[in-house]
């Protein structure tokens, strides 16, 4: 049987349930051995859920094994049932301090499902102890924090994956990236991505979210950190992971109805950002939690010199010169042809399996620390540029982040800018 990666879950709030299900789905390859939360009740609830989830899966697999049509399927189901049954004997340890969990349990990896302000300290602590790290989005509040995480993991020789909604792990994204990076749509010089919610602000229009979502000290920012992060991640991946050079952003907060809760709400509700990359490409991104916008095309548009992508649709330019009777060129007649995308004949794991596989091989996770760092540079840079009212370079971004005054690591956007 293959070695199982021993996982310690840090943060047992809303999204941690998806981590529990994510690892339980791979009983031969991963085992949740401990959970940690500063709120005891949350840790206990998730630990109980790990045990009941494993027991339920073991029972179902045992029943299915009896009805399996092939010996191979029966054997696989029995092996999985045995692995899930082991949870009952091994139990799940509960901690309130992740440093203790990392010290006391023989973990291979931690899975971070805490609010963003805990991502950097917990990831660095885990990396320094030689543990691989899977981190929830957004990777961090600032580019400096993200760089610390990436560097600590690289230095320790451990893998850093971060949850980007599986935006890189599907045949279409893989194929688009291939077209972009192999020159099949010519010189890719520009990308544009737009995405909106009409009203979708956590704790204003949608309920049940942690109190930290609207406070930049804890979250890093609003719409761009919460949901924009997925789109920026996908764009960076599709464009071949170019390195941002300069960033120019504007941000807005002030959409009615206004937030009436007691917590601090200092985050942006809309962002527009223009990024120049070091390889000459550029990229515009518009995103809002709360927009009075209907009918506007949303998605990603990629501009190449011999073709383009309009979302997942590929267009190739097949035009030709019109000539006169003597064969002299008169004018170029464009012919933009929608062309079926060649999809790879390749299996794509889910994001947890992608991470688990990376932990036991030389491979990097598809959504890794290098991509997460570029995404965080764009997110942090967009809000800082908005605050300053001018374009900034990525070098300057790090200098400015170093100047920030504690305890406010975020970049609050004043009303009405
Ligand atoms: N809620 C969602 O729909 C959603 C979706 C995708 C990703 N995410 C991301 O997942 C992360 C967590 O979000 P959530 O919605 O689960 O938040 P949450 O507030 O529901 O849960 C966070 C948990 O972390 C715990 N925690 C805080 N500090 C801790 C520490 N130092 N050590 C251990 N535990 C600590 C809290 O007590 C809480 O139980 C965020 O980065 C968020 O952006 C959330």
CB of 343 closer than 6 angstroms to any ligand 1 atom? no
**Which atom of ligand 1 lies at the shortest distance from residue 121's CA?**
31
- Residue 73, domain extent: 5-165
- Same domain, residue pair 319 and 215: yes
- Output the domain CATH number for residue 216: 3.30.360.10
Does residue 189 contact residue 303 with C-beta atoms inside 8 Å? Answer: yes
- Same domain, residue pair 45 and 118: yes
Residue-level pLDDT at 2: 63
CB of 115 closer than 6 angstroms to any ligand 1 atom? yes
Q: 372, 354, 337, 316: which is closest to 179 by C-alpha?
A: 316
> Which of 45, 115, 118, 215 maximizes ligand 1 atoms within 8 Å of its Cβ, making it the mutation to test the pocket?
115
Axis-axis angle for helices 369-388, 394-403 (nearest 10): 70
Residue 360 placed within a domain:
no
**Which atom of ligand 1 lies at the shortest distance from residue 225's CA?**
43
Residue-level pLDDT at 410: 46
Out of 102, 135, 165, a domain closes at: 165
| Ligand 1 geometric centre to CA of 117 (Å) | 10
Residue 174 placed within a domain:
yes
Q: 144, 106, 109, 105: which is closest to 123 by C-alpha?
A: 109
- Same domain, residue pair 133 and 207: no
CB of 227 closer than 6 angstroms to any ligand 1 atom? no
- Same domain, residue pair 155 and 190: no
Q: Quote the CA–CA distance of 27 and 81 in Å, as a whole number.
A: 8
- Please, what is the end-to-end C-alpha distance for the chain in angstroms? 59
Residue 358 placed within a domain:
no
The residue whose CA is least distant from atom 18 of ligand 1 is 13
Residue 136 placed within a domain:
yes
Residue-level pLDDT at 414: 44
- Same domain, residue pair 108 and 174: no
Q: 196, 202, 199, 198: which is closest to 271 by C-alpha?
A: 196
| Ligand 1 geometric centre to CA of 42 (Å) | 11
C-alpha distances (whole Å) from 166 to each of 132, 140, 163, 289, 379 are: 19, 18, 7, 21, 19
- Same domain, residue pair 267 and 290: yes
- Same domain, residue pair 219 and 282: yes
Out of 165, 190, 223, a domain closes at: 165
Axis-axis angle for helices 40-67, 16-24 (nearest 10): 30
Residue-level pLDDT at 209: 86
- Same domain, residue pair 247 and 187: yes
- Same domain, residue pair 237 and 269: yes
Query: What is the value of pTM for the model shown?
Result: 0.95
Residue 183 placed within a domain:
yes
- Same domain, residue pair 46 and 62: yes
| Ligand 1 geometric centre to CA of 100 (Å) | 19
Residue 356 placed within a domain:
no
> Which of 9, 10, 14, 201 maximizes ligand 1 atoms within 8 Å of its Cβ, making it the mutation to test the pocket?
14
Q: Quote the CA–CA distance of 212 and 151 in Å, as a whole number.
A: 27
Question: What is the count of structural domains for the chain?
Answer: 2
Residue 353 placed within a domain:
no
C-alpha distances (whole Å) from 287 to each of 217, 229, 298, 340, 382 are: 21, 10, 10, 29, 12
Out of 165, 198, 233, a domain closes at: 165
Residue listed under structure tokens 């049940």: 208
Token pair, residue 155, equals 């230095």
| Ligand 1 geometric centre to CA of 220 (Å) | 13
Neighbours of 31 (CB within 10 A): 22
Residue-level pLDDT at 417: 33
- Same domain, residue pair 136 and 178: no
Does residue 128 contact residue 25 with C-beta atoms inside 8 Å? Answer: no
- pLDDT values of the chain reduced to their tens digit, one per residue, 417 residues: 567 999 999 999 999 999 999 999 999 999 999 999 999 999 999 999 999 999 999 999 999 999 999 999 999 999 999 999 999 999 999 999 999 999 999 999 999 999 999 999 999 999 999 999 999 999 999 999 999 999 999 999 999 999 998 888 999 999 999 999 999 999 999 999 999 999 999 999 998 888 899 999 899 999 999 999 999 999 999 999 999 999 999 999 999 998 888 888 889 999 999 999 999 999 999 999 999 998 888 999 999 999 999 999 999 999 999 999 999 999 999 999 999 999 999 999 999 999 999 999 999 999 999 999 999 999 999 999 998 899 999 999 999 888 875 444 444 544 433
CB of 13 closer than 6 angstroms to any ligand 1 atom? yes
- Same domain, residue pair 115 and 139: yes
- Output the domain CATH number for residue 147: 3.40.50.720
Does residue 31 contact residue 5 with C-beta atoms inside 8 Å? Answer: yes
The residue whose CA is least distant from atom 30 of ligand 1 is 38
Residue 359 placed within a domain:
no
């Amino acid at each position: 049987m293959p070695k199982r990666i021993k996982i310690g879950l840090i943060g047992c709030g809303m999204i941690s349930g998806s981590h529990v299900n994510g690892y339980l789905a791979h009983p031969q390859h991963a085992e949740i051995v401990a959970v940690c939360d500063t709120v005891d009740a949350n840790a206990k609830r998730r630990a109980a859920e790990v045990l009941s989830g494993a027991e339920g899966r073991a029972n179902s697999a045992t029943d299915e094994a009896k009805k399996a049509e092939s010996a191979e399927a029966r054997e696989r189901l029995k092996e999985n049932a045995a692995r899930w049954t082991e949870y009952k004997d091994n139990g799940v340890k509960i901690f309130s301090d992740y440093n203790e969990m990392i010290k006391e349990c023989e973990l291979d990896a931690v899975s971070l499902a805490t609010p963003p302000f805990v991502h950097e300290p917990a990831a660095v602590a885990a990396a320094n102890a030689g543990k691989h790290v899977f981190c929830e989005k957004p990777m961090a509040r600032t580019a400096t924090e993200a760089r610390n995480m990436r560097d600590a993991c690289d230095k320790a020789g451990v893998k850093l994956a971060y949850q980007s909604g599986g935006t890189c792990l599907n045949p279409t994204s893989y194929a688009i990236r291939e077209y972009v990076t192999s020159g099949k749509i010519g010189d890719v010089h520009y990308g544009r991505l737009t995405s909106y919610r009409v009203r979708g602000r956590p704790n204003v229009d949608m309920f049940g979210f942690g109190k930290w979502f609207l406070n930049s000290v804890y979250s890093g920012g609003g719409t761009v950190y919460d949901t924009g992060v997925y789109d920026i991640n996908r764009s960076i991946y599709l464009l071949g992971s170019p390195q941002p050079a300069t960033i120019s952003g504007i941000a807005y907060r002030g959409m009615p109805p206004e937030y009436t809760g007691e917590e601090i709400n200092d985050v942006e509700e809309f962002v527009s950002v223009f990024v120049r990359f070091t390889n000459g490409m550029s990229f515009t991104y518009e995103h809002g939690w709360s927009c009075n916008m209907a009918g506007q095309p949303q998605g990603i548009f990629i501009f190449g010199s011999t073709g383009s992508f309009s979302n997942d649709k590929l267009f190739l330019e097949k035009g030709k010169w019109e000539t006169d009777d003597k064969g002299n060129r008169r004018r170029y007649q464009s012919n933009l042809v929608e062309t079926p995308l060649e999809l790879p004949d390749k299996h794509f794991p889910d994001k947890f399996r992608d991470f688990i596989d990376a932990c036991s091989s030389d491979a990097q996770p598809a959504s890794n620390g290098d991509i997460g760092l570029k995404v965080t540079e764009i997110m942090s840079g967009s809000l800082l540029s908005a605050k300053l009212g001018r374009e900034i370079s990525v070098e300057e971004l790090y200098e400015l982040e170093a100047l920030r005054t504690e305890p406010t690591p975020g970049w609050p956007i004043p009303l009405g800018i």
